[in-house]
Amino acid sequence: MKKLLAFALALSLAIFAFGCGGGGGGKESYTVFMPDGAPALSMASVMSSGEKIGGKEFDYNVVNASTIATYVTSGEADFAIIPTNAAVNLYNKNQAQYKMVSVNTYGNLYINVSGATSLADLVGKTVVSIGRGQVPSLVFIACLNAAQIEYVESETAVEGKVAIRYASDGPNAIAMRNAGQADAAVLGEPAATGSVSKIEGSSLLNLQEIYGSYNNGVQGFPQACLIAKNGIPDSVINALVAKLAGNAQWCAENPADALEAVKNNMYQGAASSLAALNATIVGRCNLVCKPASEVKAEVNAFMTALGVTPPADAFYYGAN
């Protein structure tokens, strides 16, 4: 009798664990978090279709970029689009929780300037950057270092150096430019394209091209990636990556639908920062879906350029 009761209890616990997604295999729905803007566009096609992937439901949530890490560190996200350096830093601190599945944006950073055509023209001027300590500012600083241009953190111009100050997001950086508080601004798409019409007499320097000039001519960089929580079945991960393979082309062909998909999946009814979208802006977002196993060496080199310790090979899904 005791053996029978023990067996029944064990069976009940097993059924409970399966129903709650124990080990990742029993879940019927997966939660995805991603920052508003270009990173969200990297998931637009699957958000728009709303179809099951790998036989599973997906719950998409577009959040403010400044909060994306909280959904990963809390474990709330099964999948997340996150800056590549942030993903690596989190993995280096907690190797057991998430792995990189793919790189999904390949650089969408531009410098809004007036009358400047190179980094050298920014010497003696003030540049406001989004993403303090993240890819936008780190790439800009890496390019300054490669060009042997001195810089300093300062709210006012410094002779012989580039003065860098920071803004919480693109709209704030654009406002600072218009208020005369900065001579240039490091921005991500689609805010960068929008800034040209909002800041009279301004134009854009392509930070992907500038970075490439110091990287053997290879333009772009693995800016944001898709990560997956350990325990999610390979069948689900592989099905999602397969679906995302055509996302960039879909967005370019259906920009209005892509924009609507992002707006419809804003977390808790928040407003999206995306105001307009067309094929040109989509192209400037450099959307991709490159499996982690194919970009391991490139990501490691990019981390080194940003001053981040590259992760162990186990970070890269499918690389072992």
Residue 104 exposure: Cα atoms within 13 Å on the Cβ side: 33
- Per-residue confidence at 19, pLDDT binned at 50, 70, 90? very low
Confidence class for position 21, pLDDT limits 50, 70, 90: very low
Q: Are 254 and 46 in contact (CB under 8 A)?
A: no
Predicted pLDDT at 216: 86
Q: Are 308 and 300 in contact (CB under 8 A)?
A: no
Q: Pick the closest to residue 147 from 161, 128, 166 (CA basis).
A: 161
In this predicted structure, what is the pLDDT of residue 25? 52
Question: What is the C-alpha to C-alpha distance for residues 32 and 58, in angstroms, rounded to an integer?
Answer: 7
Position 11 pLDDT exceeds 80? no
For 47, the token pair is: 């958000």
Distance from C-alpha of 29 to C-alpha of 56, rounded to nearest angstrom: 6
* Cβ proximity of 185 and 195 under 8 Å: yes
Question: What confidence tier does 18 reach under pLDDT thresholds 50, 70, 90?
Answer: very low
Instruction: Choose among 191, 190, 184, 183: nearest CA to 210.
Output: 184
Residue 158 neighbours by CB under 8 Å, 6+ apart: 124, 152
Burial class (CB in 10 A: 0-12, 13-18, 19+), 10: exposed
pLDDT for 254 equals: 96
CB atoms within 10 A of CB 193: 20
Q: What is the pLDDT of residues 177-193, one digit of tens each?
A: 999 999 999 999 989 99
Whether 42 shows a pLDDT value over 80: the answer reads: yes
Of residues 320 and 11, more confidently modeled: 320
State residue 59's pLDDT score: 97
User: pLDDT by residue (tens digit) across 92-140?
Assistant: 997 779 999 999 999 999 999 999 999 999 999 999 999 999 999 999 9
| Angle, vertex CA 106, rays to CA 49 and CA 258, nearest 5 | 25
Q: What is the pLDDT of residues 238-291, one digit of tens each?
A: 999 999 999 999 999 999 999 999 999 999 888 887 777 889 999 999 999 999
The pLDDT of residue 13 is above 80? no
The owner of tokens 């218009």 is 178
For strands 224-229 and 98-105, give the pairing. Answer: antiparallel
Are the CB atoms for 277 and 250 separated by under 8 Å? no
Which residues make Cβ contacts (< 8 Å) with residue 252, sequence separation at least 6? 279, 282, 283
**Residue 302 reports pLDDT greater than 70:** yes
Q: Using the predicted structure, report yes or no on whether residue 58 has a pLDDT greater than 60.
A: yes
**pLDDT reported for residue 82:** 96
- In the predicted model, what is the mean pLDDT of residues 168-179? 94
* pLDDT exceeds 70 at position 2: no
Determine the average pLDDT of the residues in 33-60.
Answer: 95
pLDDT tens digit string along 216-233? 888 899 999 999 999 999
Asked if residue 8 has pLDDT above 80, the reply is no
Write down the pTM of the prediction: 0.87
Average pLDDT over every residue of 9-37: 59
Task: List the domains of the chain with CATH numbers.
Answer: 21-106+222-315 (3.40.190.10), 109-213 (3.40.190.10)
With a cut of 70, say whether residue 23 has pLDDT above it: no
DSSP annotation string for 20-33: TTGGGTT-SEEEEE
Q: Could you tell me the CA-to-CA distances from 274 to 28, 88, 137, 173, 192 in Å, in that order?
A: 31, 27, 21, 16, 11
Better pLDDT: 192 or 18: 192
